Chain A
Amino acid sequence: MQTRKLMAGVLVAGLLAAACGSGDEDAGGGGGGDGDAVTLVVESWRADDKAVWEDTIIPAFEESHEGIELEFQPTAPTEYNAALENRLDGGEAGDIIACRPFDISLELFEAGHLEAVDDLEGMDAFDDVARSGWVTDDGATTYCVPMASVIHGFYYNKDVFDELGLEPPTTTEDLHTVLDAIAADGAATPIAQGTVDQWDIAEVDYTGIGPNYWKGEEGRQALIDGSAQFTDPEYVAPFEELATWGQYMPDGYEALSYDDAKVLFTNGDGAIFPGGSWEITGFERDAGFELGVFAPPLPTDGDPCYISDHVDIGMGMNADTEHADEARTFLEWVASEEFAQLYSNELPGFFSLREGAVEVDNALADDFVSWRDDCESTIRLPAQKLNRGDPAMWDELYAVSSEVVNGTLTPADAAQRLQEGLDSWYTPSE
């Protein structure tokens, strides 16, 4: 009965948010320096990283850059996009802006809130994939310095593998041998995952194993320029692989969430957890066994390998900042190797997008990042351009991927539905 008030409640909340939004107080405003020092305010949604910034990153920067001080001012992730936009519109935003990848930052750039950063020193260390999250559609202008990405992969329980004498698989065939062996043994669930949350099936599973089939960037660009269709075999094949995974998941996996699966795995009841590098810190804390990771398996032995190395966070500068020179200095530092080392090690699992080897102390993070040496990097398939219309590709992919694993949709029909959804609004750009 309480829900009767819902509509009114939502409306009132919206009203209040609108009223408060414009009056949002912020200490940014270009930041007045004390003495000769200039203070740059850094906007970010990574509230979790506040301690790392204040204890390590900021002191490191200030030590080598006299006269510039930094202030890290994060906003909660769910509020960041709207709050930042309000502050930018009201001229109250900080000098440095942490950039979300793709369309959210592109809109800010097109509205004139972000400056181009192509001419900064150090930018040539970032390749097209690294820049893809913060580049205009024509590829000509980059507006944020790429900072970090997350890599998809499979965690496994080394105890379970050792007991059964299994090696981490490199091909799909190996994977099935391993899964069957674990299933036959029966002590642990082969794949600790459930489909109820949907996002993990789409983001982690489909766009995780998929690049090996559609050859990474080649296949992603082919969808964007219209030379390939979802119904082509290289996009259907990963669905066909996923369709076999349901049987290896725990009983009732259709109603298990990502968090359920994490608990199952860290309790030692699951052998393999499809995930990504962002779980390193949490898993190392919670798992009572030795963890290992392996890269998405190859369809055929000897094929070139591709990994989902998804760009996640960048840094740009507020076009209205009063301290443009200092902001540029800071961004050049963000583009430097020094920052890459610092950031990758302080936040294991978030990898610098800079070309050239970065030494990571954390063993698991080092395993993840080592795949970059042998494999080509790509990003999640729908992230760029393909998610702009209605139906949004992510929404569609969430729904069909989990239906394929549940066995309620065939791989061919899933691909068909994705292509029809895309065709209904998308015209290939080239």
Chain B
Amino acid sequence: MSDPSVRLAPAFAASSPRRRRLRSPGARALLFCAPALVIYSTFMVWPLLQSLRFALLDDAGDWVGLDNFDKLFGDPLWSERFWRALRQNMQFFLFHCLVQNPVGLTLAALLTVQRLRGANVYRTLIFVPTTLSVVIVGFAWRLILSPLWGIVHTPLLGRTSTALPTLSLISVWQWIGIPMIFFYATLISIPKELIDASRVDGASAWRTFWRVSFPLVLPMFGVITIVTYIANMNAFDLVFTVQGVQAGPAYSTDLLGTLFYRSAYGSVQGGGDRAMGATVASATFAVILVGLLLFFLVWRRRVRTYQL
């Protein structure tokens, strides 16, 4: 055999035992993963663990065990803030689910219509807001919704009853491109034969969509919902940009993220407490973790996936 690698192999082995060790797939995998692993651990895992540790210390850095959590859930002042933020955060999430999934799916379904002219243009336009900075989106919508120079004269962002739904819809408007693209990708991956077969059997387009396409898209709902859940539970920037650190009016747009910020860094006139900030952050982390577990236990088991 004149395969050069075979001839070269002994030379490699002789020159460096380390190189030979690297030829094992496990070691090589580790080598290639190392840069990402180091960066991820340094900037994600370690700070996360530190943050959890800070929740067990007081503001001066002395060990207090679970006292901070006792304060967060036991002190009426803090527990009211926390539960209000959590409740409003859940509403924020619910608005997303109720609006972005159906609308995203509808847009995706429309984009797959065969004779739709300019489908690519629509797809791009709908996706564009996703690429914008939240600061720009928040600023633009504040102007659009300004009763003074905007298009509506109702102070949607100024009333406790409408502020949170309005913010949720702004957020949906910004991120709708993501579910749309996910659904679109799933829809176009459905083999034509299935659709054709359904039509040959005499099913209407409507029926074909609900009985053939929809069950195949359903698992995607779960993925999008869970990604949305994580994003929503960590949401902060939009409220901060549009309503400010006090999440007004009357804290009606306060989410876990803004509560965290006020707890850790203080409100407008100062007065932050790093320990309570870390405690709120840890509680938020727990909320997300519980949500994820529920998702995996319930949704994953219930939903059937089909091998195409």
Where the two chains meet, the residues of A that have a C-beta atom closer than 8 Å to any C-beta of B are: 1-4, 6-8, 10-12, 14-15, 81, 103-104, 194-199, 250-256, 260, 264, 387-388, 390-392, 394-395, 398-399, 402-403, 406, 408-409, 424
Contacts and interface: CB of A to CB of B under 8 A. Distances in A.
A387 B158 contact: no
A415 to B, nearest CB: 16
**Which one of B134, B148, B232, B267 has the greatest number of beta carbons of chain A within 10 Å?**
B148
A254 B155 contact: yes
A4 B234 contact: yes
Nearest to B157: A255
Given A3-B257, A394-B268, A252 B154 contact: yes
Contacts of A250: 147-148
Interface string B155-198: 11111100000000000000100100000000000000000000
Given A196-B249, A399-B251, A254 B270 contact: no
Contacts of A196: 155, 157-158, 243, 248-249
Given A4-B231, A11-B47, A196-B158, A252 B248 contact: no
Interface string B29-53: 0000000000000011001101100
B154 A8 contact: no
A6 B260 CA distance: 11
Contacts of B93: none
A409 B130 CA distance: 38
A7 B148 contact: no
Contacts of A264: 148
A387 B271 contact: yes
**Which one of B158, B159, B257 has the greatest number of beta carbons of chain A within 10 Å?**
B158
Contacts of A408: 160, 249-250
Contacts of B260: 7, 10
**CB-CB nearest 3 A-B residue pairs:** A252-B147, A254-B158, A255-B158
B249 A195 contact: yes
B101 to A, nearest CB: 14
A402 B249 contact: yes
5 contacts: A15-B50, A252-B147, A260-B146, A260-B148, A399-B246
A260 B156 CA distance: 16
Given A198-B248, A392-B271, A8 B156 contact: no
Interface in B120-157: 130, 134, 145-148, 153-157
A7 B251 CA distance: 21
Given A251-B153, A256-B146, A392 B269 contact: yes
Interface string B223-241: 0000110111011110000
A368 B158 CA distance: 32
A8 B249 contact: no
B134 A2 contact: yes
B281 interface: yes
Contacts of A3: 134, 231-232, 234-237, 257
Contacts of A6: 234-237, 257
Contacts of A11: 47-48, 50-51, 281
Contacts of A254: 155, 158-159, 249
Given A3-B231, A8-B44, A196-B158, A81 B145 contact: no
Contacts of A251: 147, 153
Given A398-B268, A399-B246, A402-B249, A12 B148 contact: no
A198 B246 contact: yes
A78 B261 CA distance: 15
B53 to A, nearest CB: 12
B73 interface: no
A387 B246 contact: no
A395 B267 contact: yes
A252 B50 contact: no
Contact of A403 (B147, B249, B284): B249
A150 to B, nearest CB: 15
Contacts of B230: 4
B285 interface: yes
Contacts of A2: 134, 231, 237
Contacts of B248: 196, 198, 399, 402
Contacts of A398: 246, 268
B291 interface: no
Interface string B244-259: 1010111100000100
B77 interface: yes
A1 B246 contact: no
A402 B163 CA distance: 15
Contacts of A81: 270
A394 B266 CA distance: 11
Contact of B148 (A1, A252, A390, A392): A252
Nearest to B171: A3
A81 B281 CA distance: 24
B241 to A, nearest CB: 12
B43 A8 contact: yes
A395 B269 contact: yes
Contact of B155 (A15, A253, A409): A253
B156 A255 contact: yes
A387 B146 contact: no
A203 B251 CA distance: 18
A252 B158 contact: yes
B308 to A, nearest CB: 27
Nearest to B242: A196
**Which one of B44, B234, B236 has the greatest number of beta carbons of chain A within 10 Å?**
B234
Nearest to A254: B158
Contact of B77 (A199, A388, A390): A390
Nearest to B268: A199
Contacts of A403: 249-250
A108 to B, nearest CB: 13
B48 A8 contact: yes
B69 to A, nearest CB: 16
